[in-house]
Amino acid sequence: MISAGRRVFSALARPTLRNATTTPAFAAGSPAALRRLLSALAILEQRDGKLNTGSLSAISAAQKLGGSVHGFVAGSNIKPVAEEAAKVEGVEKIIAVDNGAYDKGLPENYAPLLVENIKKGGYTHVVAGNTAFGKNVMPRLAALLDSQQISDITAIENDKTFVRPIYAGNAIATVESSDAVKVITVRGTAFPAAKVGSGSAAVEEGVDPKAESATEWVSEDLAKSDRPDLATASKVVSGGRGLKSKEDFDRIMMPLADSLGAAVGASRAAVDSGYADNSLQVGQTGKVVAPELYMAVGISGAIQHLAGMKDSKVIAAINKDPDAPIFQVADVGLVGDLFEKVPELTEKLKKA
């Protein structure tokens, strides 16, 4: 039996040669033996010394694989973040690399950094959230490992079989990977964030190859909001083209959101028309959300929008077109002019 570490190394060293020895899934053998073979590295994001709780879904997904789970963090002054991550339940070890060069998650140096740490730890699975960071870095890593990444998974059947939506969620594919190191991004709404609790993982210093990044980070412009974060909010109110203008969008949607304590989302049409910031876009090409309540206001319900919200627990729709496709998926629909109905709803919710 070749050790997992060796397998990874050979996959790295000879990218042209496929190594056919993959671990048989749940082979006859004791669970303990299996655990020794399976080890997952969950990539955790941090920003300004704060752990991104959205990336904790990578840990809960990694735990479903059934082997040991290590977390990985990198950035400047990483110790406090590593210590917080060490409290996450079910994590055996946190690998931390203290270097400001990794703060912005530039794939050109972050991917080689991961390669070295994966090589050292002999991981069979590398898991990250399907966030802007995960989408940017993980495929580059996968190429360096000569592994065919599996994106945006919604379920894990076993250590090599995964479920993911394709065609904007209009079909669900179950795929089996033959790669020695499986590179995976997970849909945050399909795996609950692991809890930061009373865990006491060891914090270990990772390897830092200090690869140069040919790309430099220049600036950013992030929308500031005191409302809940769209991707993880338990309630979302979302506005579409029916809102007619940015002023109307703000005047109608914001009070409704506040009366429910909800995050604000928008359809692609509303974003493209300039009514709402594009970081609010819900859909195949925007964010995928699955809140307890999703309220669609003035949204017709195009395929690409439904892909981003159809797993919500309860869907409510307000639209003046009784034939809008959104009503086919809404648990409760109200046909009417949103300019009348939404303010009335906002008032009544405040009183309730």
Q: How many residues bind other proteins (CB under 8 A)?
A: 92
State which residue, 28 or 223, has the beta carbon closest to other proteins.
223
- Give the relative orientation of helices 4-13 and 107-121 as an angle to the nearest 10 degrees: 140
Residue 212 neighbours by CB under 8 Å, 6+ apart: 108, 109
State which residue, 27 or 323, has the beta carbon closest to other proteins.
323
Residue 176 interacts with other proteins (CB under 8 A): yes or no: yes
Structure letter (DSSP) for residue 101: G
90-109 positions binding other proteins, by CB under 8 A: 104, 106-108
Q: How far is the CB of 63 from other proteins (least distance, A)?
A: 23
Residue 327 interacts with other proteins (CB under 8 A): yes or no: yes
Residue 337 interacts with other proteins (CB under 8 A): yes or no: no
59-78 positions binding other proteins, by CB under 8 A: none
Q: Kindly provide the b/e burial profile for residues 243-267, where b requires at least 16 CB atoms within 10 angstroms of the residue's own CB.
A: beeeebbeebbebbbbbbebbbbbb
108-137 positions binding other proteins, by CB under 8 A: 108, 111, 131-133, 135-137
Residue 20 interacts with other proteins (CB under 8 A): yes or no: no
Q: Residues annotated as binding site for FAD?
A: 241, 267-268, 281-285, 298-305, 319
What is the C-alpha R_g of the chain? Answer: 22
Pairing of strands 155-158, 293-297: unpaired
Residue 165 interacts with other proteins (CB under 8 A): yes or no: yes
Q: How far is the CB of 14 from other proteins (least distance, A)?
A: 15
Determine the residue type at 316: A
- Give the relative orientation of helices 132-144 and 107-121 as an angle to the nearest 10 degrees: 60
Structure letter (DSSP) for residue 54: G
219-278 positions binding other proteins, by CB under 8 A: 219-223, 231, 235, 260, 268, 272, 277-278
Determine the residue type at 249: F
Length of the chain equals 352
Residue 23 interacts with other proteins (CB under 8 A): yes or no: no
Residue 146 interacts with other proteins (CB under 8 A): yes or no: yes
The one among 20, 197, 214, 226 contacting other proteins by CB under 8 A = 214
Q: How far is the CB of 328 from other proteins (least distance, A)?
A: 5
**Whose structure tokens read 């840990």?**
59
Residue 322 interacts with other proteins (CB under 8 A): yes or no: yes
Q: Residues annotated as binding site?
A: 241, 267-268, 281-285, 298-305, 319
The one among 161, 196, 207, 241 contacting other proteins by CB under 8 A = 161
Residue 46 interacts with other proteins (CB under 8 A): yes or no: no
**DSSP annotation string for 14-47:** -TTS-----PPTT-SS-HHHHHHH-EEEEE--EE
Q: How far is the CB of 333 from other proteins (least distance, A)?
A: 4
Q: Which two tokens stand for residue 15?
A: 């990218």
* 294, 332 contact by CB (below 8 A): no
Pairing of strands 68-75, 39-43: parallel
Residue 152 interacts with other proteins (CB under 8 A): yes or no: yes
Residue 142 interacts with other proteins (CB under 8 A): yes or no: yes
The one among 41, 94, 179, 266 contacting other proteins by CB under 8 A = 179
* 341, 239 contact by CB (below 8 A): no
Q: How many CB atoms lie within 10 A of CB 230?
A: 22
Q: How far is the CB of 172 from other proteins (least distance, A)?
A: 5
Residue 303 interacts with other proteins (CB under 8 A): yes or no: yes
